[in-house]
Every structure is written in C-alpha cells, then in structure tokens.
Amino acid sequence: MKPGEKGWLKEYLDFRKELLKDIASDGRRTSHPEHSLYRIVQPTGLMYGQSIDSIRHPDSKNWDSKDRMKVVLAESLISSSLLFNDKSIKNPDELSDVIMKSVESIGSFYNIFPELATPTKTLFGKKKTPVELAEKILDKRIEHTNSYSGNFWSQFFHNSLLFLDVFIYGQWIHTSTDRIVSDFFKYEREELRFSVVKVMAAAAHANVTIEFEERKLLEHFLNGAGLSTEKKKEALAIFEKGIELEEINLPTNNSWILKKYFLELAILTIWSDKQVEDLEVEFLKRFCNYLDFSEDDLENSMMAIEGFVLEHWEQLNALQNKKNYDQVSAQFIGRMSRVTDNNKNRLVKEVQENRELMMLLRKAKSNELTEEEKIHMQELLIVVLKTIPTFVIVSLPQRFLTLPILMKILPKNFFTESLSD
C-alpha cells in the first residue's frame, strides 16, 4: 500500500476492515459517540497535528509524514461516520454498504469547500467511483498541510486543523446538502479556526509574558489556517493584546469533543516553552471551568497528552528538545497512580476474577516468570486497568506501560490484597 499512489484508499479499506467492523458493531463504542470518537482519534495524533504510525501497516516505514497523515485522516472520517450511524449492522453486506456510504460522503463533504472541490468525472468523461473521488480529495486536502515533519509545534498548529474537518464532517453527515447548509458549514469552519487563535492567545498570556516560542506558534498557525485577510489582522491584534476567557465565546455547541480539543490545544500552547508556571496552571483550571469541565477533566487531558507523547517519544523528535522524558514520565505515572488508588477495590476485584492473572501472580510470588509470562501479565494488567471509567475514554500507552512501570502505577500492597482470600 502506497498512499501517494492511485488505489491506496481501497487497499486501506481492505487492510482495516476488521477494525472498521469492530467500530460499526459497537466494539469501540462508549456511552457517548463523541467519547468513542475521542478514544479512536486521540491516540492517532490527529488532534495534535502529528502523523505518527498509528495503523502499523507493513509498508508504513516507507511512508512520509503526508502519507501517514492522509491515512489517519481517512480513518478518522470513516470512524466518525460509523460511530454516528444509528442503524445496527447485521451482516458483512450491510457493513460494506455503510462503509461505502461513508467514503461517498467524504467526497460530497469536501466538495462544499471551493479550494478542495474536485471534478466528479475524468478528462475522458468517465464518472469517478466514490473511492476514486474520496482518494483524490484526501490527496488534495493533505497537500494543504505542513510538509515539514521535523517540527512538532509547526505541525500541531498547522495540521491539527484537520481535526476540525473531522468534527464538522460529523455534524455535516446528518444534514441535507442544500446551498444554505453548505454556506453554514463554510462559515463554521472559519469561525472554529479563528477560535483556535483566541485559545492560543489566552493561553500565551496566561503568565503575562508572551514567550518567543508562543509567537512562533501563531506564525505557524496563520501560515496554514486559511483565514481571510480581515480575520488575520484581527487574530494578530488579539494575540498582541490578549483576550479574557469571558470574551472568547467558543462555538462549542455543547460538543464535548470540541471542548476537549480546545482544552488540549491550550495545554500544548502552555507546554511550548517547556516551563509550566503556577499562573498557567491557574489559567487551565479557569479554562476548564469556562468549558464546564471539572479539574478531573483537566487531569484526564494532561494524562492523555502525556501518554501520547511517551508512547511515541522516538517519533516526536522536535518535542524532545522541549520536554524532558523523565519529567513527563514522572508526571504521567503520578496521575495514573492517583486514578488507580481511587479505584483500588475495583481493580482488586477484577484481578481476582481473572483466572490467568491470578495463576501468574501466585507463580510470581515464589518463582521468576519467563519473558513470555511477563509479557502476558503486562497485557492482562492493562486489560484490568481498562475497566476503570477514566480509561474507557483515555487510551493507555501500551508500549510505555511495561511491567516495571505498572508496578509503580498500581496501588501499594495491591498484589498482596489481590492474593488474599
């Protein structure tokens, strides 16, 4: 599979058919579709503008950053469509129909934006199939993103706008496509992009001083946001002057995932100069209150970002100069430890009901486990952790959560209590 060549989308659909089947058949769903979408999209890096290798295709080592981003965008759009599909899917034919309707709707959606509109026929007058049209439009959309793969921050504030595509698309697929509706979504797209500037400005002014790194972030963003000349001037003025939270007026429409995106955007803006000061922490708490989020929501977002960064540390080269691995690791372990302490009884019960895990724990009490047994214990413990409500939404960084790390995260005397009658 080569995302830069014709036919890549069909190959992707074949490769990911089991995952898409899982999503369509409630296998990846939580109680709220937006929570489910966050759980799928956040680990891919799309919300942070990153093109990490999230689908782990055998050929992906040969892909460049734009190829990876194209595949992640396709997966996010199709997943969004499947998650918001209300009808139950009874057989493979129905699944195939739903997926093809999702692919067809990608072409129709992007065609409402003039810079991405694509002819539905070839030069010879032959009508393009939905897959061919969607493939061409996704190619064109990714061409509008940042191609420089070495800078985490320029990618974040340029390519994270792709997440807004996924959000708007999720609303669009439930509407009729008349002229008035199309104009509304074009307007909403610009307003949401402008909201990103306002959140960045508020976060950058949180410690009163605008840092060099924060100015560079605005520059990266304005280069790729596609704002009108008038909006760009307004954005620069807001960034220089700052903006109070009460003046932001984010168009969240009570959307949980959109508010989550703005919160995590603010967190990463504050991260950009490495130092997180007390004034900035206070700002994030006030921002959560403004979004009708609790401090637990802030903790969860911090944990989600830290987990993503730790899981993909080697791929996020530019970020390594900004954040210290040990520092991020310690913060993440501390957050997870607080969650597991609060859910200790639930975890003990889950372990005691897992026969395989109990056998391994009893053996580990008196004997050294083999490497295979240690890996299996790690996998089983992560399954147990996923029963905690927080981790139904926040994805766990499985490669980072080695057995020694899990020992630090789980509550004190956890295994002793689990083995007691």
Determine, yes or no, domain membership for 288: no
For residue 62, pLDDT beyond 90:
no
- Domain stops at, among 137, 155, 174: 174
pLDDT at 147 over 70: no
Counting beta carbons within 10 angstroms of the beta carbon of residue 119, is it exposed (0 to 12), middle (13 to 18) or buried (19 or more)? exposed
Which pLDDT value is given to residue 109? 85
Give the pLDDT mean for 178-198.
75
Confidence of residue 176 (pLDDT cuts 50, 70, 90): low
User: How buried is residue 324: exposed, middle or buried, by Cβ count under 10 Å (0-12/13-18/19+)?
Assistant: exposed
How far is it, in rounded angstroms, from Cα 76 to Cα 35?
Answer: 13
pLDDT for 178 equals 63
CB atoms within 10 A of CB 339: 19
- As a whole number of angstroms, the distance between CA 71 and CA 94 comes to 23
Point out the domain boundary residue: 118, 143, 174: 174
Q: What is the pLDDT of residue 272?
A: 66
Domain boundary among 153, 174, 195: 174
With a CB cutoff of 8 Å and minimum separation 6, the contacts of 293 are 259, 263
Which ranges of 353-419 would DSSP assign to H, the alpha helix?
A: 355-366, 371-385, 390-393, 403-409, 414-419
pLDDT of residue 338: 93
Residue 242 forms part of a structural domain = no
Q: Give me the number of domains the chain comprises.
A: 2
In sequence order, the β-bridge partners of residue 127 are 121
Residue written as token pair 């210290």: 324
Q: Look at residue 216 in the predicted model and tell me its pLDDT.
A: 66
Find the mean pLDDT for residues 174-185: 68
3-class DSSP state for residue 145? coil
Look up the domain containing 368 and give its range.
335-419
Report the chain's C-alpha Rg in angstroms.
23
Residue 314 falls within a domain, yes or no? no
- pLDDT value at 103 more than 70: yes
C-alpha to C-alpha distances, 391 to 62, 69, 232, 382, nearest whole angstrom: 33, 25, 39, 10
pLDDT at 11 over 80: yes
Which residue type occupies 163? F
Higher-pLDDT residue of 228, 316: 228
Give CA–CA dist 303/333, Å, rounded. 9
CB distance 343 to 388 below 8 Å? yes
SS (H, E, C) 78-110: HHHHHHCCCCCCCCHHHHHHHHHHHHHHHHHHH
Q: 154 pLDDT band (50/70/90 cuts)?
A: low
Helices (H), 144-277: 152-159, 161-172, 179-204, 212-224, 229-241, 245-248, 256-271
The answer to whether residue 369 is domain-embedded is yes
Task: Give the residue, 383 or 419, on which the prediction is more confident.
Answer: 383
Distance (Å, whole) CA 219 – CA 402: 39
Using the predicted structure, report yes or no on whether residue 130 has a pLDDT greater than 70. Answer: yes
- pLDDT at residue 322 greater than cutoff 60: no
Backbone dihedral angles phi then psi of residue 409, each to the nearest 5 degrees: -85, -35
pTM to 2 decimal places = 0.83
What pLDDT is attached to residue 415?
A: 78
Confidence of residue 378 (pLDDT cuts 50, 70, 90): very high
Kindly compute the dihedral angle of the four CA atoms of residues 369, 373, 377, 380, in this order, to the nearest 10 degrees: -160
| Residue 260: per-residue pLDDT | 93
Is 40 inside any structural domain? yes
In a domain, 30, yes or no: yes
Is 226 part of any domain? no
| Arithmetic mean of pLDDT, 64-78 | 85
Express each pLDDT in 27-52 by its tens digit: 555 567 888 889 888 888 888 877 67
Residues in the chain: 421
Map residue 121 onto helix, strand or coil. Answer: strand
Domain assignment of residue 328, yes or no: no
| Poorest-pLDDT segment among 76-80, 216-220, 251-255, 263-267 | 216-220
Alpha helices in 256-370 (DSSP H): 256-271, 278-290, 295-311, 325-342, 344-352, 355-366
Confidence class of residue 179 from pLDDT cuts 50, 70 and 90?
A: low
Q: Is the pLDDT of residue 151 over 60?
A: no
Provide the pLDDT for residue 285: 92
The pLDDT of residue 211 is 61
DSSP, collapsed to helix, strand or coil, labels residue 39 as helix
